[in-house]
Copies of this chain bind each other. A is one copy, B any other.
């Protein structure tokens, strides 16, 4: 048996058209596009290429994009001042601060300087806290509006658009980063899954993985999760982006897993293409909120 492939590339293609239509309608109504700003301090090569890809993605859909660069020598105050200026700029609806920040910069203070209403990648603690405190979906949320980090939001979109049942299922999330593992666990919980969070210190990781109806991998170690760690028929969502030589591979051993799982996201072409999509969706939403629309 070979698993059904959950293609993020295909899904992203369809969603790009949705976003373009939304952006066009927004521009017609308001005379300006939803716009995102990216702050980068220094010239980390991965950050540079990510910003370029983002510019192309947003520009291609009609969204505004502006990159603000500071030198590697930028001070805390200079970075926070730039954040404050963009917070106050009504033509900017979403702000992302690229990591890594230069040595000696207090990353937490920079994140907390963001206006939560423009924090389209959900890194501000108010957004993390509202996600943690929000009631299950379908009930009144009991918290203010919030943004969710784009990568796990993209994973959830794959599950939902493929109509995969989450409610009551046992989801196991491997990895507990603030941008993928923990928010993914909280998102699955809001959809009424039972959720287990595992990590480097988990005593029997293969055993925990084997209990998963939905297995999410966000560890950052090439092909770590083996075929026999997967319950036959399970749904596997792989957030890993690793390189084995010059080949991009996920956290899951795809060749093995595809024989066991019921459905699986490939790497590349799985969760990856969804991240920019969700950033665009969040930017459109931020612009609508700023315009008093929702």
Contact = CB atoms under 8 A, between A and B. Distances in A.
Contact of A201 (B108, B109, B126, B192): B192
A202 interface: yes
B203 A199 contact: no
B107 A203 contact: no
Contact of A189 (B168, B189, B197): B197
A182 B135 CA distance: 11
Chain B CB count within 10 A is highest, among A131, A167, A194, for A194
A194 B208 contact: yes
Given A125-B125, A128-B130, 4 more contacts: A133-B182, A194-B196, A194-B198, A194-B208
A189 B192 CA distance: 20
B203 A169 contact: yes
Contacts of A59: none
A157 interface: no
Interface in A181-211: 182, 185-186, 189, 192, 194-199, 201-203, 208, 211
A168 B133 contact: no
Interface of A: 107-109, 112, 124-133, 142-144, 167-170, 176, 178, 182, 185-186, 189, 192, 194-199, 201-203, 208, 211
Chain B CB count within 10 A is highest, among A125, A167, A198, A211, for A125
A98 to B, nearest CB: 17
Contact of A203 (B176, B178, B189, B194): B194
Instruction: Indicate how many identical chains form the complex.
Output: 2
A142 B125 CA distance: 11
Contacts of A194: 196-199, 201-203, 208
A178 B211 contact: no
**Which 5 pairs from chain A and chain B are nearest by CB?**
A129-B129, A125-B129, A128-B129, A196-B196, A194-B202
Contacts of A112: 144
Contacts of A189: 176, 182, 197
Contacts of A144: 108-109, 112, 125
B208 A170 contact: yes
A231 to B, nearest CB: 13
A128 B146 CA distance: 13
A131 to B, nearest CB: 8
B132 A182 contact: yes
A201 B136 CA distance: 11
A131 B182 CA distance: 11
Nearest to A140: B108
Contacts of A211: 211
Given A133-B178, A142-B108, A208-B194, A168 B125 contact: no
